């Protein structure tokens, strides 16, 4: 077969679920790609495999997940609830996110007065009760989005209604995918993660 091995950093990861629609795609997901340098057009399985991959990749939009963090302010830390105007504006924005296929999850958080922290000190696990000292690193809410790029996430954040009553920031952080961990993420660990994710989906 006219294929060669590549590292995860040199390839996109295909969707195994699509292998049924595009025969040979499962090879791609395991890190093998067609090597046209060694394929003779019209002979062997290389051209067929390449065509299937091309058709799949042409229609596949590769995406990334990001967590969008809304920073707390003194009002949110005091437990002040948003008014109807803010809730309406945020609801409309969330609807736009959902219609665009961007939003996976979004939640607001209670103030830190209702929270706890667990500190790791060797074998000790002391518990610290809230409220915690106010800082701009405290979080009042979050989204998880599925976007094509960080630039797309930035553009959506710019369209967001002002989430607090004071000047604030919204932070965007990319979420790790299994491929990001390289060789350290063994096939056994990958199988475990996929199994756990399947259980989570089934339990919803």
Residues 163 and 99 in one domain: yes
Q: Is the pLDDT of residue 105 over 90?
A: yes
132 inside domain: yes
57, 35 contact by CB (below 8 A): no
> For position 30, what pLDDT does the model report?
45
Q: Which of 8-35 are b and which e, b meaning 16 or more Cβ less than 10 Å from the residue's Cβ?
A: eeeeeebeeebbeebebbebbbeebbbe
Residues 162 and 68 in one domain: yes
> For position 113, what pLDDT does the model report?
97
How many angstroms separate the CA atoms of 47 and 40, rounded?
8
181 inside domain: no
Residues 80 and 143 in one domain: yes
HSE-up (13 A, CA, CB side) for residue 93: 17
CATH for 135: 3.30.70.1060
Residues 1 and 77 in one domain: no
196 inside domain: no
Q: Which of 166, 175, 185, 189 is nearest to 146 (CA)?
A: 175
83 inside domain: yes
What's phi and psi for 5, nearest 5 deg?
A: -90, 140
82 inside domain: yes
Residues 79 and 52 in one domain: no
Q: Where in the sequence is the domain holding 105, given as residue range(s)?
A: 64-174
192 inside domain: no
Residues 74 and 53 in one domain: no
* Contacts with 104 (C-beta within 8 Å, 6 or more apart), sequence order: 65, 143, 144, 145, 146
Task: Name the band, by pLDDT with cuts 50, 70 and 90, for residue 61.
Answer: low
How many Cβ atoms from other residues are within 10 Å of residue 72's Cβ? 22
Residues 91 and 162 in one domain: yes
Residues 102 and 17 in one domain: no
> For position 132, what pLDDT does the model report?
94
* pLDDT digit string, tens, across residues 117-136: 999 998 999 999 999 999 88
Cis peptide, bond prior to residue 26, ω within 30 of zero:
no
179 inside domain: no
189 inside domain: no
Partners of 107 in the β-ladder: 142
Total number of domains in the chain: 2
**What three-state secondary structure class fits 44?**
coil
């Amino acid at each position: 077969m006219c294929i060669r091995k590549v590292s995860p950093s040199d390839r996109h990861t295909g969707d195994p679920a699509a292998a049924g629609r595009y025969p040979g795609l499962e090879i791609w997901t395991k890190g093998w790609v067609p090597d046209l340098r060694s394929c003779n057009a019209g002979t062997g399985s290389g051209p067929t495999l390449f065509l299937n991959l091309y058709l799949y990749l042409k229609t596949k939009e590769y995406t990334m997940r990001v967590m969008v963090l809304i920073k707390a302010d003194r009002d949110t830390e005091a437990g002040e609830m948003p008014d109807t105007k803010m809730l309406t504006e945020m609801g409309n924005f969330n609807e736009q996110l959902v219609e665009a296929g961007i939003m996976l999850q979004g939640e607001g958080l209670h103030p830190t007065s209702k929270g706890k922290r667990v500190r790791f000190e060797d074998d000790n696990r002391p518990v610290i009760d809230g409220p915690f000292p106010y800082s701009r690193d405290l979080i009042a809410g979050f989204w998880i989005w599925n976007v094509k790029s960080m630039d797309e996430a930035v553009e959506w954040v710019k369209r967001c209604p002002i989430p607090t009553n004071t000047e604030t920031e919204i932070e965007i952080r990319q979420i790790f995918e299994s491929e990001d961990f390289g060789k350290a993420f063994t096939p056994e660990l990958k199988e475990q993660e996929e199994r756990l994710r399947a259980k989570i989906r089934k339990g919803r």
